[in-house]
Chains A and B, each alone.
Chain A
Amino acid sequence: MYKWIITLLTLLFLIGCDSKPKEVLNVYNWSEYMPEDVIEQFEKETGIKVYYSTYDSNEAMYAKVKLLESGGYYDIVVPSAYFIDRLRKEQLLHKLDHNKLKNWKNLDPLFLNKEHDPNNSYSIPYLWGTSGIAVNTQRIKDPITKWQDLWNPKFKNKVLLLNDVRDTFAMTLTLLGYSINTKDEQHIKEAYEKLKELKNNVRVFNSESPKQPFINQEVEIGMIYNGEAVMAQRENNNIKYIYPQEGVILWVDNLAILKNAKNLQNAYKFVDFLLRPEIAKRICEEIGYASPNKEAKQLLEEKIRNNTAIYPSKEIIEKATIPTDIGDTIRIYQKYWEKLKSEN
């Protein structure tokens, strides 16, 4: 009996070893953030085997990357801008040679050379989106134009906020006229005081699927990611996405190659592959967020390309701010966030 088990295990082990091809690539991405057929096509074209693993939060990704730094387990990660900033400062990322990316030119300069990564030395924008206001126009007839509208006492117990400390504070800081990346505790405290006033209006905090409470009509107004708003709109045409006057929050998820990547050349090949217009278009269509690839945008259906919820005007993008790394200050944010939640 034991002999059998041992033989079986040995066999499995051998099979495991044998089938491992020479050329591999380890990709660590958000869950449901890349269509499978895109990966398949890449494997077919190049013969490189892609090992794909996923995470659910930047923080989880960061902890793993940081702890497994020397192992070179992952070649490519897809952090949000502020984590690019952090990983870059901690010298965990590979400095890119843009010459190796012949599709680089397809990227829209509007998304390049931002504060979180000057000259894009370390990151390539992958998908982007905005956080704005969603409103159920059937229920709420008043015109909604700004973040401050969420504070309207009429909306008691009708508001959704994102269950994310950075997003929610960024919104409030924008409203107060401070930088969303402020490290000044006084500003953060003010934002906290402001949010405390809003708490009475809040029905639910949700950042995993904020569209759902809108679709279920659990809430009538609130903060939302544009992609989620678009999906909610498909279910209920009365749900509108609004870019608040005070400014929207722009988020960009970026491809980055880790410094200790074992398969550097393959990583370049993969990134360049993803920058192809038709590939970027397919990703954009499937995942539902906007692509920073201007060539890809041209290939999209007009209906999508002209949907302002997905592709806002240039002015809005220019005015939008991207959260960057705030280092230890996150603990101050977190402190006020906990305070906000623990008080009634």
Chain B
Amino acid sequence: MTPSKANWLKKASITTISLWLAIFVFIPTLLVIATSFLRVGENNFVIFSFTLDNYQKILDPVFFHVFFASCYLALITTFVCLLIGYPFAYLLTQFSPNIRRILLLLVIIPFWTSSLIRIYAIKILLLQIERSLRFFYPDVSILYTEMAVLIGLIYTMLPFMILPLFSTMEKLDRRLIEAAQDLGATPRQTFMRIILPLTIPGIIAGSMLVFLPVLGLFYVTDLLGGAKNIVIGNLIKNQFLVARNWPFASAASVFVIILMAMLIFVYIKSINRFGGSRHEKVQ
């Protein structure tokens, strides 16, 4: 390709991406932010007059309850994913590159199917397990319990935890581990002082990739939890559609967006702090 053509292509793709982001991300976000300061109308969705009421409503106990319940669910999911994902990712790095590639593929394969379909599959699986267990414990319930919701969430989100962890662990210099041992560190100390701090960017990235989507994954609570509880995603959706309270729904969205932004900020900080051009001087 000639330089001028390449240049043209570069400009075109940058323009396309910028336009895309502007039209489908930036402007909608601005609209949501703007709507969150408007009043709700009877016959129109919004009345153009400024108010902070919607943000005050966030302090409403029901909203807070839902918000904390969602965060609680997301936290447990994140924590369990981390607990499973961390050793999992570590084990992955112990295999030879060829086997590693196959195992990694197996981690990714579920992404090829819609997660909704996979949740249905889990539902059937849990139903069968429940039925078999009922031969022994007639009163046991698995489906439509918080446990079922957690199983579904953890199952859905686990790859999002494993992949960033794996990539930071793969980059981890084995000699650092040997150096720590060499200086007298026991395996436990090596883990706590070297491996763990150096994989923190992966832990944070994975936790964010799990925590944030879980707040919105309403279909899992609906399908596996029997819709008996709502998460922040349901709430926002229902406020938009059923209650037609766009300003409040927008305020709730803005609240979640701010929360996410804060987490991303922490992530970037931590990358600077821990990842800090780690491989720069190592030839």
Contacts and interface: CB of A to CB of B under 8 A. Distances in A.
Contacts of B69: 342
Interface stretch (B104-112, B208-216, B224-232): B224-232
B227 A205 contact: yes
A341 B241 contact: no
A338 B62 contact: yes
Nearest to A165: B242
B66 A338 contact: yes
B141 A157 contact: yes
Contacts of A331: 243-245
Interface string B129-148: 00000000000010110000
Contacts of A199: 228
Interface in B215-250: 222, 226-230, 235, 238-245
Interface in A62-87: 62-63, 66-67
B34 interface: no
A203 B66 contact: no
B182 interface: no
A57 interface: yes
Contact of A60 (B43, B226, B241, B243): B241
Given A90-B43, A204-B144, A335 B62 contact: yes
Interface in A314-336: 327-328, 330-331, 334-335
A218 to B, nearest CB: 7
B226 A206 contact: yes
A330 B226 contact: no
Contacts of A203: 141, 144, 226
A339 interface: yes
Contact of B226 (A90, A202, A337): A202
Given A202-B228, A328-B42, A335-B62, A59 B141 contact: no
B65 interface: yes
A66 B244 CA distance: 12
Contacts of A335: 62
Contact of A204 (B45, B226, B230, B240): B226
B58 to A, nearest CB: 13
A179 to B, nearest CB: 20
Interface residues of B, number: 26
Nearest to B124: A216
A97 interface: no
B194 interface: no
A291 to B, nearest CB: 28
Contacts of B65: 342-343
A163 interface: yes
Given A157-B141, A342-B66, A204 B242 contact: no
B127 interface: yes
In which size bucket is the chain A interface? 20 to 34
A224 B40 CA distance: 33
Interface in B57-102: 62, 65-66, 69
A63 B242 contact: no
B71 to A, nearest CB: 13
A327 B245 CA distance: 12
Contacts of B229: 341-342, 344
Contacts of A62: 244
Contact of B244 (A59, A202, A344): A59
A163 B238 contact: no
Contacts of B239: 334
Given A342-B69, A342-B230, A334 B241 contact: no
A216 to B, nearest CB: 6
A6 B180 CA distance: 61
Nearest to A89: B43
Residue among B42, B141, B228, B238 facing the most chain A CB atoms (10 A cut-off) = B228
Contacts of B43: 90
Contact of B242 (A67, A218, A334, A343): A334
A205 B228 contact: yes
A334 B222 CA distance: 17
B227 A59 contact: no
A138 B127 CA distance: 20
A330 B45 CA distance: 14
Contact of A218 (B45, B143, B222, B238): B143
A338 B241 CA distance: 14
B28 to A, nearest CB: 14
Nearest to B235: A338
A180 to B, nearest CB: 16
Nearest to B227: A205
Interface string B194-206: 0000000000000
A49 to B, nearest CB: 31
A59 B222 contact: no
Given A204-B144, A338-B235, A343-B65, A63 B230 contact: no
Contacts of A330: 242-244
B127 A334 contact: no
Given A335-B62, A339-B62, A59 B226 contact: no
Nearest to B246: A63
Contacts of B244: 59, 62-63, 330-331
Contacts of B66: 338, 342
Contacts of A66: 45
Interface string A173-196: 000000000000000000000000
12 contacts: A90-B43, A206-B226, A330-B243, A334-B239, A334-B245, A335-B62, A341-B227, A341-B228, A342-B65, A342-B66, A343-B65, A344-B229
Interface of B: 42-43, 45, 62, 65-66, 69, 127, 141, 143-144, 222, 226-230, 235, 238-245
Given A62-B244, A204-B228, A334-B242, 4 more contacts: A205-B222, A205-B227, A334-B238, A341-B227
